Structure 1
Amino acid sequence: MEQAEAAHVCGWKVGQLAELTAVTVRTLRHYDQTGLLRPAGQTAGGHRLYNRENVRRLYRILALRRLRFSLAEIRSFLDNPEWDLASMVARHTEEIDRDIAAASRLSAHLRAIDAEITRSGDAPPDTLFLIMEEMTMLDTPIRSTTTLVVYDDLAPAHAYLTETFGLTAGSLTHDADGRVVHGELYAGDQSIWLHPAGNDYSSPQDLGGVSRMIVIAVDDADAHHAYAEEHGADVLGPPVDQPYGVREYGARDLEGHLWYFHSPLESSSS
């Protein structure tokens, strides 16, 4: 805490801010480079220097990320003059209480900061540091996963997965000749990248078999199965209760990749 208090007047260097919030230096640099969080200034030696407003902005970024907004969406929110710290904390608290029972300690601190804002109209950086550190430490060091799936023809695959399985469409990237060289989809907040076949990458239709399967959790496996069949999916069979606690079905896409969709089995009441 002494380090945080001493920095109130002059600001925090990037390493200090990383240590106080458990956000990596690499992430802070990325936020700077993309314009999400520009440091207020720099030291005589050229190091990034963050002030109190930067701390408030970083809290907003982390809170919105935990509420599952994309970085693109967050960018549109950050400079909204109608944004209110108390409202954000209240929404953040509700999300944590609903979705993550293990975050009870974080939830208590969030209520404390909400009370502080109501009482004083502001929240000191030290309190925000505590919140941000616990938000980060509740997660594992692994931030997310991206599934890479190889196709001979990315554009039809992108359209098929969106229309047939209901995945959220992301961008398609073209090269100078107009050929699609990269595609993005989303299953919830997880990314799926489409990669063109070539060199050491092959589609199942070229290999004659699959060496991987993609498994996606859905709210209702039966409803998703009905949707996929209605949209022409090559379904392997109806949903089946599995001994590992899920109801699941599988389907092949247009190039032979295997996709499985499951939802948790409801526990029987005694």
Structure 2
Amino acid sequence: MEQQSHPSSTEGGTQEWRVGRLAEATGVTVRTLRHYDQTGLLRPSGQTSGGHRVYDQQNVTRLYRILALRRLGFSLAEIGSLLDDPEWDLAAMVTRHATQIEHTIAIATRLVAHLRVILGELDRSHRTHPDTLFTIMEEMSMLDTPVRDTTTLLVYDDLAAAHAYLSETFGLTPGALERNAEGRAVHGELFAGDHAIWLHPTAEGYRSPRQLGAVSSMIVIAVDDTDAHYADAKEHGAEIIQAPVSQPYGVREYGARDLEGHLWYFHGPLD
């Protein structure tokens, strides 16, 4: 059964959503909502007595506009100027969004039909005509988007030790650990959900935080239960730099430093 995110109501009957509820209902992360707030794209309608952001129905409409414009290919800078256009019309936006989806469905439908043609040709002669393949490749390109995915790459001096530490201490799913002819680990892979994290060995121009004596980035991972994850990491010897704390932007998070100095933050929804 599909889960519903129930808004609260003010004394005047206006519906409001706390930031965590809005994130759950829309699939937009709390950190993204925080970024939209900081950049002025989506200011919350107010705050709770505990300092948590709350959003009203106008905010929900504005968030849809942001997401729809992003889907239509506009940059955040362009969206910022479009959002306050007095001529903007919700019905027109939904119509344009629907048209785009229909176009995508039409391309996918044609692609399926051509793939079935190929199957028929293969059944008859085990070969297919180049023109059919050209058509399929063209339609595949039409479905493509310029951005595919993201992979985090972290530099370590001892990849084997880092690979074991991150899986055992933080619960990351271990992937491949490749070694060269001398037996030294030269590439490692781990996963946080569907997100890939690659381990890169130190070399000229590549240094771990421990070697540099500083960090220039942090890794942030969402977990189901912050306190449970914290307790498990601490039991496995994690170097904790910040115990779990409930943040005003709607998450509970803690921070840790790994064996070569990379900073990790783990956060989950507030109860």
State the TM-score, normalizing by the size of structure 1: 0.50
Tell me, yes or no, if the aligned pair for 1:149 and 1:194 is still in contact at 8 Å: yes
Secondary structure at 1:205's aligned position in 2? helix
Distance apart, 1:9 and its partner CA = 10
In 2: Cα distance, 1:264 partner to 1:241 partner: 9
Q: Does 1:164 pair with 2:169?
A: yes
In 2: Cα distance, 1:9 partner to 1:193 partner: 35
Label 1:255 to 1:41 Cα distance change in 2 as closer, same or farther (>3 A): same
Distance apart, 1:143 and its partner CA = 3.3
Tell me, yes or no, if the aligned pair for 2:162 and 2:259 is still in contact at 8 Å: yes
Label 1:9 to 1:46 Cα distance change in 2 as closer, same or farther (>3 A): closer
Secondary structure at 1:162's aligned position in 2? helix
1:229-248 counterparts in 2 under 5 A?
A: 229-248=234-253
In 2: Cα distance, 1:246 partner to 1:4 partner: 44
1:11 aligned to which of 112, 117, 122: 117
Tell me, yes or no, if the aligned pair for 2:156 and 2:199 is still in contact at 8 Å: yes
Q: Does 1:198 pair with 2:203?
A: yes
Tell me, yes or no, if the aligned pair for 1:41 and 1:49 is still in contact at 8 Å: no
2:261 aligned to which of 239, 250, 256: 256
| Equivalent position of 1:36 in the other structure | none
In 1: Cα distance, 2:184 partner to 2:132 partner: 42
1:37-76 counterparts in 2 under 5 A?
A: 41-43=127-129, 47=133
In 2: Cα distance, 1:9 partner to 1:257 partner: 47
Q: Does 1:185 pair with 2:271?
A: no
In 1: Cα distance, 2:190 partner to 2:223 partner: 15
1:204 partner letter = P
Structure number with higher relative contact order (C-alpha < 8 Å, ≥ 6 residues apart) = 2
Runs of 5+ unmatched residues, structure 1: 14-39, 51-128
In 2: Cα distance, 1:260 partner to 1:214 partner: 6
Label 1:219 to 1:141 Cα distance change in 2 as closer, same or farther (>3 A): farther
In 2: Cα distance, 1:233 partner to 1:47 partner: 53
Deviations 1:157-192 (A, max 9, x none): 000001000110001011122211100000011100
1:92-171 counterparts in 2 under 5 A?
A: 142-171=147-176
Distance apart, 1:44 and its partner CA = 5.1
In 2: Cα distance, 1:168 partner to 1:223 partner: 17
| Equivalent position of 1:226 in the other structure | 231
Report the aligned-residue RMSD.
3.4
Report percent identity of matched pairs: 61
In 1: Cα distance, 2:131 partner to 2:246 partner: 62
| Equivalent position of 1:213 in the other structure | 218
In 1: Cα distance, 2:128 partner to 2:267 partner: 50
Deviations 1:6-61 (A, max 9, x none): x6698269xxxxxxxxxxxxxxxxxxxxxxxxxx74315694788xxxxxxxxxxx
Label 1:46 to 1:226 Cα distance change in 2 as closer, same or farther (>3 A): same
In 2: Cα distance, 1:258 partner to 1:45 partner: 52
Distance apart, 1:144 and its partner CA = 2.3
Runs of 5+ unmatched residues, structure 2: 1-105, 120-125
1:210 partner letter = V
